Amino acid sequence: MRRTTPSMPARLSASAFALFAQQGIDGVNLDQIAAHAGVTKGSLYWHFRSKHDLVKAACAHYYRTYQRRINEEITHLTDPAERLEHTLEVAVRTCLLDEANRVFTMEIFTLSVHDAEIRRGWQQFYDSVRAFYIGLVKAATLAGALRVGDPEQAVNLMLAAMEGIKLRALFEPDICSPAEEARVREGLRDILGLPPHHPAPLRARRPSRKSAIPIPAGMA
């Protein structure tokens, strides 16, 4: 029996993500993905049967990376408002300044219009992110850090605004700057009912038992 390398699917998924973000899904073939990952095309086919399978794997790579980035940022925090603020900072940085993530999600949105399987995967990811934000907003509200009448509606509006920002960046790339990032973040904070941001001194990290954003089954 042929032996496989446990990390190979992850390498191929990361390479597919990188190339899809750079050249678009239609502009990349399996030979390019194999070359980027440093493997033969035969090795690629050992793990993935088709380009469509690699698109799904690239999506899962994006989902895992985003969720783990958020979890790493807030795992040391116990204050509900700080957890919400740090999550928002990472999310804005990802959707505005991280070009690969921003472009890749636009590619997936386009593909999802006619691909029900890709659309279901994105919906699963989106629902997990949405539920996580709602939990953060409710926790911060209970702690008295913000006042919002309808946490679910506030989160819906905030996420919709964030996707609109990605689309705007497609036509106005000049907005992808640290200065604009701060403006966007303040606007999203306002939607969620957070007070204006005033930078505070950095704190030492402490372990936290607070819940982390879940990674949907099949994407871990």
Record the tokens describing residue 134, joined without a space: 């709602």
In angstroms, rounded to a whole number, what is the distance separating the alpha carbons of residues 178 and 100? 17
- So what's the pLDDT on residue 61? 95
- So what's the pLDDT on residue 31? 96
In angstroms, rounded to a whole number, what is the distance separating the alpha carbons of residues 57 and 129? 19
Q: What size, in residues, is the chain?
A: 220
In angstroms, rounded to a whole number, what is the distance separating the alpha carbons of residues 72 and 81? 16
- So what's the pLDDT on residue 197? 66
Average pLDDT by stretches of 10, the chain with 220 residues: 65 97 96 96 94 97 92 93 93 85 92 95 95 95 90 95 88 85 90 74 46 54
Indicate the residue type of 3: R
- So what's the pLDDT on residue 173? 85
Domain ranges, ordered by start, for the chain: 66-192
pTM of the model: 0.82
- So what's the pLDDT on residue 216? 55
End-to-end CA distance of the chain: 26
- So what's the pLDDT on residue 201? 43
Tell the CATH topology of 66-192.
Answer: Tetracycline Repressor; domain 2 (1.10.357)
- So what's the pLDDT on residue 5? 56
Q: For residue 125, what are the CA distances in angstroms to 32, 65, 66?
A: 27, 12, 10
